[in-house]
Amino acid sequence: MTHHRFLVTAPRGITAILYDELRELGVTQPHRNREQIWFDGSIALGYRVCLWSRLASRVILFLRQIDGISLDSLRDGIKSVPWQDHLHPDGRLRVDFVGTNDQIRHTLFGAQMVKDALVDSYRDRGVSRPTIDLDQPDHRIHVRIDGHRATIGLDLSAGGLHRRGYRLESGAAPLRENLAAALLRLAGWRFQPSSAEPLLDPLCGSGTFLIEAGMMAADIAPGLNRQGQSLSHWLDLPDALRRQMREEMVERAQNGLHQLDRMQLPLIGFELDELTVAKAQANLARAGLTGQVHIEQNSLQQLLATIPPQQLAGVTHGLLLTNPPYGHRTGSIDRVHIIQAQLHELLSNSSLFRQWRGAVINCAMDDSPTPFQTGTGWQAEPSTLHNGPLACQLWLWQPRQQHQPVPATQSSLSQPGSLYQPAVVPVSPPPAVDLANRLRNNQKRLKNWLRREAIQCYRLYDADLPEYAVAVDIYGDRVHIQEYQAPATIEPAKAAERLQQVLVTVSQVLEVSPSHIHLKQRAPQKGANQYGKMADTGQLVAVAEDGLQFLVNLSDYLDSGLFLDHRRTRAMIRSMAAGRSFLNLFGYTGSATVYAAAGGARSTTTVDLSRTYLDWARRNMALNGFQQPHHELIQADCLLWIAASEASYDLIFLDPPTFSNSKRMRSHLDLQRDHVALLMQTMGLLNPDGILLFSSNYARFRLDRDALPDGWRYQDLSRATRSPDFDRKTRYHHCWRIERMAHKA
């Protein structure tokens, strides 16, 4: 029997359990290093690994090794492989090239050289060759360079063995299927009929953990429904072996599903987002697990409130395994910390999970303490692995009787809907009494004003107490918390503990759902980072202000899209706009333009450099029923546009940033330095009887009246445009009305 050498790769951190799995699949003498395993065996054994390994990423058929590699030796090595014995001549081909050396310094150059050498080998033999197709290849040639050694092989796994064929739709940041299967093994989940245990994923996303678990319990081969596998085009693989292996997979899946049905093993997932639940249900159907796995639209709150789902009735033990958001792709760090803390609270204090084991993946973006590091009950040394490029840790929780439980009287999650955020102690931090009192006092102080003016979006708290340096803004039923960067004199652990107290206190005082709390850190930013994204959820929420509707994004950007401190300035624009042409410079998301249109402006023009903000402004205008052609949106550098424009306007709102990169004014805008020139150019666009409203939030800004023309009239509106929720930040709000004086005849 002819033996081949196969190289097997896997995500970093799971090579050891892949080694064990290969032995279970019949590999007698696997060899491994940190990143891959190789073994010698028959075609049938290699085929079995491709079809049945739940952990492998790729299986590569070893063809050649070249030592002392040079351009010529690599080219000759490629040409020496009898490719026509392995590749179908009518197939489609791709070359994957990994690594560089002093002669091959770019992988694209290496891949092109391999392709050319392969084409030459077919031409020299006078036979037809496969065509090149980078998107949907039937064959993938794998070449890897390590120093002066090259390994040449045929990748038998098409786009990767993690692809099972069921996940055509996924959530925002899914785990790869083989990594999910590895985590089930690392967590020690038992699925054999004699020892099977329930599995719960309370943040299940598109259901990958649960589907992989269902496939394991039902003995469904990962390769059963995989499409486009290179093995189906591999000439070395006999058709009879293909049929035999296929029949075995189908038979074992049928028997396994019957057995799983008899077991009635609870495999349960929660997911808050309705669309993601629908994706998970579709994935379940493609995996053949409809009815075997239960996924419903729900949140952690049901479990935190000790309300068991029907499927867990009477279940006293099991494994809670979940992959909470990291903050890299699915929202800000606040949600990450809150969810981590909720999971800790659930396992440490909930009567429902007294005998449950837990396993949680942590891939935090910051260095702040997590409950997995500080809370009693978590395994001291977590397993480290990689989800793509992200280094992650798998934290394991032992059942409650194996460690001292947190006293119930110290739990901050005794009521549904409240938050818990762990400090550097193994118990929930108590609410901050002085902060709670200040929040309630501010609510009382603003109550009549909010009711009288029907205000739904406002600032409730702004670092009133120095030790709790955050701003708390209310947007309808949502809370937006901005943490001001702590000074260097404050220990990071102390700052983290205070922030945890803020989250606990705000949640309890305002009685707000955790899913409606958003937190960001407001720190000094420079250059391109000033207005950069913090996340990429794309989630816009409509809020009401003064009878108008605006879209805000509370997760992705430092600012929400609606400046709350400009509320009265916008109202003033509305009162002045009737019959006038209106210009909004540095227009941001167009909220001032919406007010001008609502006030009856004859036309509006909004100028901003950002396409994202202009699209946002367009949506805000459309949300309130204002469409072109009378409302123009222009993407341009405002400084260049002002200098070049020949139009004139009756009412202009100028709200420039304090600093901004630009091609004019010494390559960037410094408002204090450049405001005189900016105002003179902007006044050049104003009709003789027009009005310019000039605003700035720069605390140290001073209007240089002496350098401005004598023929202008100024009215300081800073006090008149400052509302009660910002009355403690007087030095940050400046607003002037500027007009030309009428000339006497």
Amino acid sitting at position 33: N
What does the pLDDT read at residue 380?
61
What does the pLDDT read at residue 716?
95
Name which residue leads in pLDDT, 521 or 418: 521
- The answer to whether residue 347 is domain-embedded is yes
Q: Is residue 43 domain-shared with residue 182, that is, in the same domain?
A: no
Split at pLDDT 50, 70, 90, the class of 663 is very low
How large is the average pLDDT for residues 673-677?
Answer: 91
What does the pLDDT read at residue 421?
30
Q: What is the pLDDT of residues 644-661, one digit of tens each?
A: 899 999 999 999 998 876
- The answer to whether residue 119 is domain-embedded is yes
Split at pLDDT 50, 70, 90, the class of 232 is low
Q: What percent of the chain has pLDDT over 70?
A: 84
What does the pLDDT read at residue 497?
80
What does the pLDDT read at residue 668?
74
Whether residue 355 is predicted with pLDDT greater than 90 in this model: the reply is: no
- The answer to whether residue 231 is domain-embedded is no
Whether residue 306 is predicted with pLDDT greater than 70 in this model: the reply is: no
Q: For the ranges 184-193, 318-327, 422-431, which has the lowest average pLDDT? A: 422-431
Q: Is residue 385 domain-shared with residue 437, that is, in the same domain?
A: no
Name which residue leads in pLDDT, 733 or 664: 733
What does the pLDDT read at residue 103?
78
What does the pLDDT read at residue 208?
94
Whether residue 326 is predicted with pLDDT greater than 80 in this model: the reply is: no
How large is the average pLDDT for residues 539-544?
Answer: 85
How large is the average pLDDT for residues 584-609?
Answer: 96
One DSSP character per residue, 534-549 reads S------EEEEETTEE
Split at pLDDT 50, 70, 90, the class of 696 is very high
Whether residue 207 is predicted with pLDDT greater than 90 in this model: the reply is: yes
| Cis peptide preceding 709, ω within 30 of 0 | no
Whether residue 212 is predicted with pLDDT greater than 90 in this model: the reply is: yes
How large is the average pLDDT for residues 137-155?
Answer: 86
Split at pLDDT 50, 70, 90, the class of 107 is confident
Q: Is residue 98 domain-shared with residue 207, that is, in the same domain?
A: no
One DSSP character per residue, 443-489 reads HHHHHHHHHHTT--EEEEEES-STTS-EEEEEETTEEEEEEEPPPTT
Amino acid sitting at position 79: K
Q: Is residue 186 domain-shared with residue 69, that is, in the same domain?
A: no
What does the pLDDT read at residue 329?
40
> What is the extent of the structural domain holding 331?
177-226+238-410
- The answer to whether residue 169 is domain-embedded is no
Residue ranges with strand state E in 641-685: 649-654, 659-661, 668-670
- Give the residue from 378, 410, 442 where a domain finishes: 410
From the CB of residue 629, how many other CB atoms can be counted at a distance below 10 Å? 6
Q: For the ranges 438-447, 493-502, 584-593, 694-703, which has the lowest average pLDDT? A: 493-502
Query: What does DSSP assign to residue 585?
Result: E
- The answer to whether residue 424 is domain-embedded is no
What does the pLDDT read at residue 417?
30
Q: Which of 590, 595, 589 is nearest to 576 (CA)?
A: 595
Q: Are residues 210 and 295 in contact, defined by beta-carbon separation less than 8 angstroms?
A: yes
How large is the average pLDDT for residues 242-261?
Answer: 92
How large is the average pLDDT for residues 236-247?
Answer: 86
Name which residue leads in pLDDT, 738 or 416: 738
In 264-332, alpha helices (H):
274-287, 300-304
Whether residue 406 is predicted with pLDDT greater than 70 in this model: the reply is: no
Whether residue 162 is predicted with pLDDT greater than 80 in this model: the reply is: yes
Q: Which residues contact 105 (CB under 8 A, 6 or more apart)?
A: none
- The end-to-end CA distance of the chain, in Å, is 111
Whether residue 642 is predicted with pLDDT greater than 90 in this model: the reply is: yes
Q: What is the pLDDT of residues 357-393, one digit of tens each?
A: 989 988 755 555 566 665 566 776 678 888 777 788 8
What's the distance, CA 691 to chain centroid? 44
* Number of folded domains that form the chain: 4
CA distance 533 to 536: 7
CA distance 613 to 594: 14
Whether residue 117 is predicted with pLDDT greater than 50 in this model: the reply is: yes
What average pLDDT does the chain have?
83
What does the pLDDT read at residue 113?
87
**Rg of the chain taking only CA atoms, in angstroms:** 32
Which residues on adjacent β-strands are paired with residue 390?
A: 387
CA distance 586 to 683: 15
Q: Is residue 151 domain-shared with residue 181, that is, in the same domain?
A: no
- The answer to whether residue 550 is domain-embedded is no
From the CB of residue 402, how many other CB atoms can be counted at a distance below 10 Å? 9
Q: Is residue 401 domain-shared with residue 443, that is, in the same domain?
A: no
Distances 714 to 560, 577, 658 between C-alpha atoms, Å: 31, 19, 21
Query: What does DSSP assign to residue 351?
Result: G
How large is the average pLDDT for residues 165-191?
Answer: 83
Split at pLDDT 50, 70, 90, the class of 522 is low
CATH at residue 318: 3.40.50.150
Name which residue leads in pLDDT, 313 or 357: 357
Q: Is residue 468 domain-shared with residue 617, that is, in the same domain?
A: no
CATH at residue 43: 3.30.2130.30
Q: Are residues 7 and 62 in contact, defined by beta-carbon separation less than 8 angstroms?
A: yes
Q: What is the pTM of this model?
A: 0.56
Whether residue 99 is predicted with pLDDT greater than 90 in this model: the reply is: no
- Give the residue from 366, 395, 410 where a domain finishes: 410
Q: Is residue 133 domain-shared with residue 49, that is, in the same domain?
A: yes
Return the top range by mean pLDDT from 55-59, 394-398, 513-517. 55-59
How large is the average pLDDT for residues 307-315?
Answer: 71
CATH at residue 497: 3.30.750.80
Q: Is residue 243 domain-shared with residue 282, that is, in the same domain?
A: yes
CA distance 560 to 315: 44
Q: What is the pLDDT of residues 470-520, one digit of tens each?
A: 999 999 888 999 988 777 777 777 887 888 888 888 888 888 866 678 888
Q: Is residue 362 domain-shared with residue 443, that is, in the same domain?
A: no
What does the pLDDT read at residue 445?
94
CA distance 489 to 702: 31
CA distance 119 to 742: 83
Q: Which residues contact 109 (CB under 8 A, 6 or more apart)?
A: none
- The answer to whether residue 421 is domain-embedded is no
Q: What is the pLDDT of residues 3-34, one digit of tens each?
A: 889 999 998 888 889 999 999 999 998 998 76
What three-state secondary structure class fits 634?
strand
What's the distance, CA 370 to chain centroid? 19
Q: Is residue 321 domain-shared with residue 441, that is, in the same domain?
A: no
- The answer to whether residue 717 is domain-embedded is yes
Q: Is residue 497 domain-shared with residue 356, that is, in the same domain?
A: no
